[in-house]
Amino acid sequence: MKRVLLFLVLMLTGILFWSCDSSISTKDQDEQDIVIGKPELNLTSDIMTPEALWSFGRVSGQEVSPDGKTVLYGVTYYSIEQNKGNRELYSVEKNGENFKRLTHSPKSEFNAMWRPDGKKIGFLTSESGSVQLWEINPDGTDRTQISNIENGITGFKYALDQTRILYTKEVYIENKFEELYKDLPKATGRIYDDLMYRHWDHWVESYSHVFYADYDGAKVWNDKDILKGEPYQAPLKPFGGIEQVDWSADSKSIAYTCKKLTGKAATLSTNSDIYLYNLETGKTKNMTKGMMGFDVAPLFSPDGNYIAWESMEREGYESDQNRLFLMNLETGEKIYASKGFDQNGGSLLWSENSKSIYFTSDWHGTFQIYRSNVDGGTIDKLTEGMHDYRSVALAGDKLIASRNSMSMPTELYAVNISDGKAQQITFTNKDLLDQLTMGKVEERWIKTSDNKDMLTMIIYPPHFDPNKKYPALLYCKGGPQGPLSQNFHYRWNYQIMAANDYIIVAPNRRGVTGFGQEWTEQISGDYHGKSMDDYLVAIDEMAKEPFIDENRLGAIGASAGGYAVFYLAGNHDGRFKAFIAHDGIFNEEAQYLETEEIWFENWDKGGPFWDKNNKVARETYAHSPHKFVQNWDTPILVIHSELDYRVVFTQGMTAFNAAVLRDVPAEFLYFPDENHWVLQPQNGILWQRTFFNWLDKWLK
């Protein structure tokens, strides 16, 4: 249940500082000051294991030096024993030479960027007890704390003239019921009188605000809150980071993303806007007034003539097409730069001459790099291949891009702008990859029940023998919208599933992005219809293969994929012999009132269950998975987490209870300290062990 903002995807790839370090809390870091570095792992087998999966270094956050020669980036390594991770900074020249490790500390360094003069690298770390701005020389020497801001900061950017920085910080909400707490210092109750009191995995007790402060190369001071204490989030939580804020080319204005709504209105609407704050006048202007969907990630052109941003059209639809918009800052003209381009676009990057914008977009199961030509209004595709390019930075005639695939975690590549050819420049995981054998990844186009062409990804075991018969797993994608691409995931990893001698069948069913907006929208209000047919057509077609045992089929999935598993459990006509549902929706009526982003429920489910005159809503709730539990007869593993506030853990608990009461073999894996994902190393390994123990029990 993630919006199609390519963060959505960002959470998985670690492009945003908060996501790549999301399991590295300040509390965890303070418990043991032990540097976590690259693990030494000599495998006894060439087959992927959970321990090997958690040993990969996770590359993220490439930034190119102002002279275009050196690439700064971070790598996170995890310690299974310590149950935490640590992120360090590295640099390499854009030709792949002169690799250097710049930091070596027990505190993760993140949000790293070059100072505009190229003489320093700024970054955030919690070394002083709270997260502050620090700087080092480009060779890693002279580590110096620059800020000392109360309660710490969460992101920053230098002004181009280096006289100021902007930063983001949490501003705590005043308790309007404080009078009731007098003489009750041990009271733990919270009092609310409006909605959006919790979001994704936290209770809302603060706002993220944008500040700016004076900077002289040694310290920051004289800070100002440009939202002036307003009760709004900027950047937007939970996925928004420093990419949602930008300095103008003349360092006189700040553009920021904000949804200026609170309470019930905030939970019903996706309408965020781009605001422009003028430092000299102190005035704020809404640049996207009247544009009703998500408007995010403003980016000024180097010449100062334009501002670009990502825009969705429709209020309440978090998976609307992510469009590229520009504004001419002199005339105020808004330009729909990706008009006619039936794909999403994200990770925007201006060319040095301000005539082009580079971006990434998913199409037919891959993410590629594209270029939008400002003057001509045309869009060029720059790259090809079975991989995902997820973010780009400019280095002269090259783009420094993060790239991964189903068989390879993220590394950095230098991509020629002229012909799209790529050279790998980081080799973080080469030693480990050299010890592993990956399974073949194959594309198959399968006809759906309504005669549409559906791309289905097939992942084979590493040492596939066509003369054997293998059990197969139907992978039910979450979202429900979003890409099913080449991402190297650290939990739902196709290669580790295949390494356990399963053939993986992953259909790009209705709702998946990268096949045009019409295909994406066919799942809204119809979770139980075409998308379920697509799943069954894909697994039925593959079950005809002589190397697949049609009597040993399983179905697995998380979030909306968990919904699919629960639904299929009551509507599969004996096809499957085992199910696994993680964070899935079991009872649609309960979900409507348990979750916090009601805009999602209203758009994708058609509205509230009490609206009896709404045909779409009536159909949705009539096909809620719990309505078919009387048909359950197949073993099911249910996984859920306490801190998941998008799909509350009681959804999983009630599904498990129903299975047991019906005498269906079942297990319930419950995490009290995880959210919609599983982010801690030991929990991640427990997840994998439980996952395969269950499948092996019923399918082998």
The tens digit of pLDDT for each residue in 267-286 reads 999 999 999 999 999 999 99
* pLDDT per residue as tens digits for the range 56-111: 999 999 999 999 999 999 999 999 999 999 999 999 999 999 999 999 999 999 99
- Identify the pLDDT of residue 537: 98
d(CA 7, CA 26): 23
Three-class secondary structure of residue 309 per DSSP: strand
CA 226 to chain centre: 28
Domains in the chain, CATH or no CATH each: 8-41+48-181+191-432 (2.120.10.30), 439-590+632-699 (3.40.50.1820)
Mean pLDDT of the region 153-162: 98
The more confidently predicted of residues 17 and 385 is 385
The more confidently predicted of residues 364 and 33 is 364
Name the residue among 490, 488, 485, 456 with its Cα closest to residue 473.
Answer: 456
Name the residue among 487, 507, 411, 524 with its Cα closest to residue 6.
Answer: 487
382 has a pLDDT exceeding 90: yes
Q: Mean pLDDT across the chain, nearest whole number?
A: 94
d(CA 425, CA 210): 35
Share of the chain above pLDDT 90, in %: 92
116-120, 125-129, 332-336: range with lowest mean pLDDT? 125-129
pLDDT tier at 660, thresholds 50, 70, 90? very high
- Identify the pLDDT of residue 43: 85
d(CA 217, CA 18): 25
Amino acid letter, residue 245: V
Neighbours of 449 (CB within 10 A): 11
- Identify the pLDDT of residue 40: 77
666 has a pLDDT exceeding 50: yes
The token pair that represents 288 in the structure block: 């996207």
9 has a pLDDT exceeding 70: no
* pLDDT per residue as tens digits for the range 600-655: 999 999 999 999 999 999 999 999 999 999 999 999 999 999 999 999 999 999 99
507 cis-preceded (ω within 30 degrees of 0): no
d(CA 531, CA 537): 10
75-79, 154-158, 237-241, 400-404: range with lowest mean pLDDT? 237-241
pLDDT tier at 563, thresholds 50, 70, 90? very high
- Identify the pLDDT of residue 33: 59
14 has a pLDDT exceeding 60: no
- Identify the pLDDT of residue 269: 97
Residues 300, 277: contact at Cβ < 8 Å? no
Neighbours of 195 (CB within 10 A): 15
d(CA 84, CA 335): 45
- Identify the pLDDT of residue 128: 82
d(CA 76, CA 36): 9
**203 membership: H or E segment, kind and range:** strand 202-203
Q: Which residues of 396-420 are buried (b: 16+ CB within 10 A; e: fewer)?
A: eebbbbbbbbbbbbbbbbbbebeeb
Torsion sign across C-alpha atoms 681, 487, 691, 640: positive
pLDDT tier at 380, thresholds 50, 70, 90? very high
Residues 542, 472: contact at Cβ < 8 Å? yes
* Residues annotated catalytic, as ranges: 559, 644, 676
d(CA 604, CA 585): 13
* Residue indicated by tokens 């190369």: 217
23 has a pLDDT exceeding 80: no
Q: Which residues of 636-650 are buried (b: 16+ CB within 10 A; e: fewer)?
A: bbbbbbebbbbbbbe
- Identify the pLDDT of residue 518: 97
d(CA 46, CA 33): 33
d(CA 432, CA 494): 17
The token pair that represents 131 in the structure block: 């997260």
453 has a pLDDT exceeding 60: yes
- Identify the pLDDT of residue 27: 36
Neighbours of 604 (CB within 10 A): 24
Name the residue among 196, 190, 195, 186 with its Cα closest to residue 177.
Answer: 190
25 has a pLDDT exceeding 60: no
Residues 334, 424: contact at Cβ < 8 Å? no
d(CA 346, CA 513): 13
d(CA 625, CA 587): 6
Q: What is the 3-state secondary structure (H, E, C) of 621-663?
A: HHCCHHHHHHHCCCCEEEEEECCCCCCCHHHHHHHHHHHHHCC
17 has a pLDDT exceeding 60: no
- Identify the pLDDT of residue 548: 98
35 has a pLDDT exceeding 80: no
- Identify the pLDDT of residue 273: 98
Neighbours of 672 (CB within 10 A): 9
- Pairing state between β 100-101 and 666-671: unpaired
Cα Rg for the chain, rounded, in angstroms?
25
Q: Name, in order, each residue with C-beta under 8 angstroms of 403's C-beta and a sequence gap of 6 or more.
A: 387, 388, 389, 390, 410, 411, 412, 413, 422
Burial class of 302 by CB neighbour count within 10 A (0 to 12, 13 to 18, 19+): middle
Burial class of 465 by CB neighbour count within 10 A (0 to 12, 13 to 18, 19+): exposed
Mean pLDDT of the region 449-465: 98
Between CA 324 and CA 235, with CA 319 as vertex, the angle to 5 degrees is 65
* pLDDT per residue as tens digits for the range 350-370: 999 999 999 999 999 999 999
DSSP assigned state of 317: -
| pTM summary value | 0.94
